[in-house]
Amino acid sequence: MLEIKDLRVDLEEEEKSILKGVDLTIEPGTVHAIMGPNGSGKSTLSYVLSGKDGYEVTGGAATLDGEDLLDLEPEERAAAGLFLAFQYPVEIPGVGNMTFLRTAVNAQRKARGEEELSAGDFLKEVRAKAKTLKIDADMLKRPVNVGFSGGEKKRNEILQMAMLEPKMCILDETDSGLDVDAMKLVSEGVNALRSEGRAFLVITHYQRLLDHIKPDVVHIMADGKIIKSGGPELALEVENNGYADILAEVA
Ligand code: ADP
Ligand code: MG
Ligand code: MG
């Protein structure tokens, strides 16, 4: 599904190499986690995949179902099925959550050459999904993220993901200081949305998050590269021993 080959990325503003040859293959239906010390390039990887400005790809490739991601505009990447959960969800005063979701869903359908959902069909779908995710109907009417608690923002993010039905979901939770409840929300949301045709890349500092999400593959990233990959036991190893042993072993 997602195939990253020898991806190399510099900062645009200054001569600084951040990603130094990242290789990563994610199969449909799987959950991959990336852990790693601060500053190793985890967030940069998710930003570059989503098409954020400020980075220069100097080498390598990234494809989603064979389609060259790096060649697409951010909206086109979303239409192709990529979803990036934002670490800091934006508040949009004056725009109702429901309106926002409907606009996003229809923009994506349009980009895919599909017909817009009727107001009735949209309403039916959003209510059903909100219910599955235990999201209060009241939250759908409020302005996007305005005055939402941390937990509500997380729920909303999962709802956006559920409505957009992406193939490849990237969640970067590294610096967001998730408390235990928010962690539970995120993991329940991810688990509810796991399916054969969908894959997840979860970037996290917290081994505890992976107790709930249960990744198929865990990768360790350091200094702009994935230096080790393994099963869930790798996350436990990090929890128990930190990164020092792995870094030493690879060096
Ligand atoms: P991680 O998410 O693993 O903590 P980041 O991808 O946030 O790592 O950062 C990787 C490195 O790139 C760090 O050294 C960070 O300081 C640097 N970096 C990333 N983005 C920028 C930027 N816009 N300006 C300056 N330095 C940046
Ligand atoms: Mg960081
Ligand atoms: Mg980060």
Domain ranges of the chain: 2-250
Q: Is the CB of 146 under 6 A from ligand 1?
A: no
d(CA 43, ligand 3 centre) in Å: 4
The pLDDT of residue 88 is 60
pTM summary value: 0.91
Measuring CA to CA, which residue among 75, 122, 121, 77 is closest to residue 96? 122
The pLDDT of residue 152 is 83
Q: Which atom of ligand 1 is nearest to the CA of 47?
A: 6
What ipTM was assigned to the predicted interfaces of this complex? 0.94
The pLDDT of residue 121 is 93
d(CA 42, ligand 1 centre) in Å: 8
The CATH number of 2-250 is which of 2.60.120.10, 3.90.79.10, 3.40.50.300, 3.10.129.10? 3.40.50.300
Q: Is the CB of 204 under 6 A from ligand 1?
A: no
Q: Is the CB of 230 under 6 A from ligand 1?
A: no
- The residue contributing the CA closest to ligand 1 atom 1 is 39
d(CA 44, ligand 1 centre) in Å: 6
d(CA 224, ligand 1 centre) in Å: 10
d(CA 106, ligand 2 centre) in Å: 34
Residues of the chain with pLDDT under 70: 86-88, 174-177
Q: Is the CB of 38 under 6 A from ligand 1?
A: yes
The pLDDT of residue 17 is 97
The pLDDT of residue 108 is 85
The pLDDT of residue 92 is 84
- The residue contributing the CA closest to ligand 1 atom 26 is 11
